[in-house]
């Protein structure tokens, strides 16, 4: 099937499908006219990528997960290790963001938020330390 149909069926944009190909994640056949030709197996790969990306796995991780996925003899421990490392990264970033949000909320709570120029938020950003 064409890249357009593959995009529709996989939920991955044609643009990104081509990109994933340059990254070696999917390797469709080529028709004599140069068009890419996707088989069901390719579709499955694209869906796999989409799900992994929805969980914010970086493409490097997706590549590893795909390799494990294709390996019928993989050890589940390998997958788990990648997933848990990713979980840790996600949680650490999420925590950092929530900490920033909390500080800002705190500052904003002490900001009148009216027409006066007084503002603890700017005061904080202004600090020399």
Contacting DNA (CB under 7 A), which of 29, 55, 60, 101?
A: 60
Q: Considering only residues 10, 26, 36, 42, which one is a binding residue for DNA as defined by CB under 7 A? A: 36
Question: Contact, 26 vs 49, CB < 8 A?
Answer: yes
| Cα first-last separation, the chain | 60
- What is the DSSP annotation of 8-66? HHHT--HHHHHHHHHTTS---EE-TTS-EE--HHHHHHHHHHHHHHHTT--HHHHHHHH
Stretch that binds DNA, among 7-15, 39-47, 110-118, 120-128 (CB under 7 A): 7-15
Is 47 an interacting residue with respect to DNA (CB under 7 A)? no
Q: Where on the chain is the footprint of a copy of itself (CB under 8 A)?
A: 44, 47-48, 51-52, 54-56, 65, 68-69, 71-77, 79-81, 83-84, 86-87, 90-91, 93-95, 97-98, 100-101, 103-105, 107-108, 111-119, 121-122, 124-128
């Amino acid at each position: 099937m064409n890249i357009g149909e593959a995009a529709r069926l996989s939920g991955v944009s044609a643009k990104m499908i081509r990109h994933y190909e340059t990254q070696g994640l999917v390797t469709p056949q080529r028709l004599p006219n140069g068009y890419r030709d996707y088989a069901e197996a390719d579709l499955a790969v694209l869906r796999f990528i989409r799900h992994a990306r929805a969980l914010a796995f970086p493409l490097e991780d997706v590549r590893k997960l795909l390799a494990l996925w294709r390996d019928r003899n993989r050890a589940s421990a390998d997958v788990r290790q990648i997933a848990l490392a990713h979980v840790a990264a996600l949680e650490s970033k999420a925590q950092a963001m929530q900490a920033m949000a909390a500080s800002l909320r705190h500052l904003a709570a002490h900001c009148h938020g009216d027409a006066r120029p007084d503002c603890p938020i700017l005061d904080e950003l202004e600090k020399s330390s």
